[in-house]
Every structure is written in C-alpha cells, then in structure tokens.
A and B are shown apart, each in its own frame.
Chain A
Amino acid sequence: GDSVTQMEGPVTLSEEAFLTINCTYTATGYPSLFWYVQYPGEGLQLLLKATKADDKGSNKGFEATYRKETTSFHLEKGSVQVSDSAVYFCALSVISGGYNKLIFGAGTRLAVHP
C-alpha cells in the first residue's frame, strides 16, 4: 500500500549547519508530496509541497525536489537556525477509497543548538 518512510530522529545540529532529512515514498499513481512542520505545542503547518515529478518546493530557506526515479522528496536547508527546531513530517496525497488521503511519515525531530 501507499506509505512514507522518513529518517529517524532526533537530528541534532549546530546553528548554520546544513540540514538533510530523507524521505522516500511508495505509491500507486502520481501523488503530491508535502513537508509539514510542527513547532512545540502547535499543530502542523504546511512547509512546502510539490505536485509533479521534478518540481521543487521551497519556503523559508527549505527546499525539496520531487524525484520520481528514486521515489524521494528529501528536505534540505543550507543554514539552520535555532528557530527551526521542530518535528518535520513528510506526507503524500493520493486518491484512495474514493477520497483524497494524506499519508504521513513518522516525523523527524530536529534540534538546533547555538
């Protein structure tokens, strides 16, 4: 079935370090792909998305490219800040059972220290 696999956390980085969080997916058809971020005590917020192969989503210095050949959507940021500390969820959207369904990965916790 459709699924999303993310790298396990926590990921601990120093401020200004380079970030990669790996995400791969399994899906029939052509899903849209998303990264959501959850700051402590808050709900999920959409960070970026890509709706077709080779699309690059970007926001707040984060970016991810939809790679159909490797079924991946890795999240990257060139220089992280302490304020980026949060849990990051990769997700895909498919039509399943007659409705549009979001399937989430388990989440990756990022901790950035000064």
Chain B
Amino acid sequence: NAGVTQTPKFRILKIGQSMTLQCTQDMNHNYMYWYRQDPGMGLKLIYYSVGAGITDKGEVPNGYNVSRSTTEDFPLRLELAAPSQTSVYFCASKRGIADTQYFGPGTRLTVL
C-alpha cells in the first residue's frame, strides 16, 4: 500500500502564481485533510472533506481552495501565491470519525 502520497515534494513559486498540491490515498478513507506547518508551530487545519463531493473550511482557509471529486484525491489549490503561504503542507486521511489520521510526507512550498 502506498498510503497517502503527495506531489510535488518541493516547489518554489513567485508571488501571484498559482499551483495545485496533489494528495492521493489508496486506503478508501472517507475523511481527508489539508494542514500547514509553519516553523516551530504545530499543524493548522486548512480544509477537510468527509467524503467525495463534500468539503469544508478549517482554521486557516483564506487563500486556498479544495475539491473532492473522488474518494482517492483531494487537491489543494493556491490561486494567488503570497509569501505568507510559505510553509510545509501535509495531507492526511482516515477511514471513520473515530479512526487515526494517516499523514503524507509533505510538500515544502516557498513563495518569493
């Protein structure tokens, strides 16, 4: 099993550019999450999804968008990149509401 995979591993963007961070899980999990991790800080929830076609905002959604057209995929879109979005982004998934979250390896994004 691949688990939770994320691409790319690293990316440098210029201010104003857009990009999509990909996240795929092969565990048939219903719940998927996007977090950002800033230096010296814990993870903050950006968006989450409880199933295909259903998404909702977390604590820090501004500047991001998501979609969930399939159970497996949960891409995160940055439309107008800003330096404040420099961070490490983690995708996670879990099967049911009381289950453990499994994390991907992360995408390190720098906006200059």
Contacts and interface: CB of A to CB of B under 8 A. Distances in A.
DSSP class of A's interface residues: helix, strand, loop or mixed? strand
A105 B42 contact: yes
Interface residues of B, number: 23
Given A44-B90, A99-B50, A104 B42 contact: yes
B100 A49 contact: yes
Interface stretch (B12-20, B61-69, B72-80, B103-111): B103-111
Interface residues of A, number: 22
B41 A99 contact: no
B105 A43 contact: yes
Interface in A81-111: 89, 91, 99-107
A106 B100 contact: no
B45 interface: yes
A30 B31 CA distance: 21
Interface of A: 4, 32, 34, 36, 41-46, 49, 89, 91, 99-107
